[in-house]
């Protein structure tokens, strides 16, 4: 079934968490390792605006449906960051824009080059670059849903589980858009399949890898994706990616865990 972008735009809302009792965490605080992971997640959600910035230099921005989706998507991801920051705030962990800006400045030339690299790639590949964007987005969103679900499963905290479930529900709509677009574009172009397969196999890394130190990425992936249960979830994400046209057999998530040394 095709994704209804008009319905999505009309029903896109700010994530609601005002009814949740965040003071619950004052008596039942989350462990430091989990707070560290939640901080990572909040930073990634807030960083969505930079991902959007980069893609505005590519052929994707000329597609009306893609542009409409990315506007709503960016807004929803911002509120995901706000919700996670609220939980962190109860624990005395402050996430503010000055700190986020400082972190981005630390990226230096890497951050400034990202839009240039995206623009060059889009110019070289042409319209088939949109298939790369959509497939990459699907992989990231499948990974995000898995991460939120795993965190809820590991912590067994009712308030955290409810909040993360609400975030995952919105992420599921993001997956639906990205995956439907990716399948359609991959199915009609052999070149799109080849370029997308190459890009994912060579360059994909866990969400946040480009903005966080390797030690933080390793911490998050170890907490959420280690052990038999974690690997099963990683395989599920890989199975979803490899089910798309021309991407059969890709194991990008499991390969990334291997590179990070996550057992």
In a domain, 36, yes or no: yes
Domain range for 41 is 29-260
In a domain, 2, yes or no: no
In a domain, 11, yes or no: no
Describe the crossing of helices 64-90 and 48-55 by its angle, rounded to 10 degrees: 160
Q: Mind listing the pLDDT tens digit for each residue in 204-219?
A: 999 989 888 899 999 9
Q: Tell me the pTM.
A: 0.88
Task: Find the range with the poorest average confidence among 24-38, 60-74, 92-106, 165-179.
Answer: 92-106
Q: Mind listing the pLDDT tens digit for each residue in 161-195?
A: 999 999 999 999 999 999 999 999 999 999 999 99
Start-to-end Cα distance in the chain: 38
Helix (H, G, I), strand (E, B) or coil at 48: helix
In a domain, 21, yes or no: no
Q: Mind spelling out the 3-state secondary structure of 96-127?
A: CHHHHHHHHHHHCHHHHHHHHHHHHHHHHHHH
**pLDDT of 229:** 96
In a domain, 19, yes or no: no
Q: What is the CATH number of the domain that holds 54?
A: 1.10.620.20
Residue 76 near residue 52, CB atoms below 8 Å: no
CB atoms within 10 A of CB 179: 22
In a domain, 1, yes or no: no
Residue 3 near residue 177, CB atoms below 8 Å: yes
In a domain, 96, yes or no: yes
205-209 long-range contacts (CB < 8 A, ≥24 apart) are: 205/256, 206/143, 206/253, 206/256, 206/260, 207/44, 207/140, 207/143, 207/144, 208/40, 208/43, 208/44, 208/47
Mean pLDDT of the region 34-62: 79
Domain count, the chain: 1
In a domain, 217, yes or no: yes
């Amino acid at each position: 079934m095709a994704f209804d972008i008009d319905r999505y735009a009309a029903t896109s809302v700010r994530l609601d968490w005002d009814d949740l009792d965040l003071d619950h965490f004052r008596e039942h605080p989350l462990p430091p390792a989990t707070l560290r992971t939640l901080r990572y997640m909040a930073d990634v959600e807030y960083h969505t605006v930079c991902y959007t910035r980069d893609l505005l230099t590519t052929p994707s921005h000329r597609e009306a449906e893609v542009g409409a989706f990315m506007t709503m998507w960016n807004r929803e991801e911002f509120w995901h960051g706000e919700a996670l920051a609220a939980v962190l705030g109860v624990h005395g962990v402050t996430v503010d824009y000055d700190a986020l800006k400082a972190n981005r400045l630390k990226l230096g030339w890497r951050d400034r080059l990202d839009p240039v690299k995206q623009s060059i790639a889009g110019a070289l590949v042409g319209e088939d670059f949109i298939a790369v964007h959509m497939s990459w987005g699907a992989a990231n969103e499948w990974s995000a849903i898995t991460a939120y679900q795993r965190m809820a499963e590991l912590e067994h905290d009712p308030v955290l589980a409810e909040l993360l479930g609400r975030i995952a529900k919105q992420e599921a709509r993001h997956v639906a858009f990205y995956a439907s677009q990716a399948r359609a574009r991959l199915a009609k172009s052999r070149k799109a399949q080849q370029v997308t397969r190459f890009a994912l196999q060579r360059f994909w890394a866990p969400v946040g890898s480009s903005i966080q130190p390797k030690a933080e990425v390793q911490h998050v992936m170890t907490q959420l994706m280690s052990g038999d249960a974690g690997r099963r979830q990683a395989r599920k994400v890989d199975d979803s990616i490899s089910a798309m046209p021309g991407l059969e057999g890709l194991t990008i998530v499991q390969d990334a865990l291997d590179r990070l040394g996550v057992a």
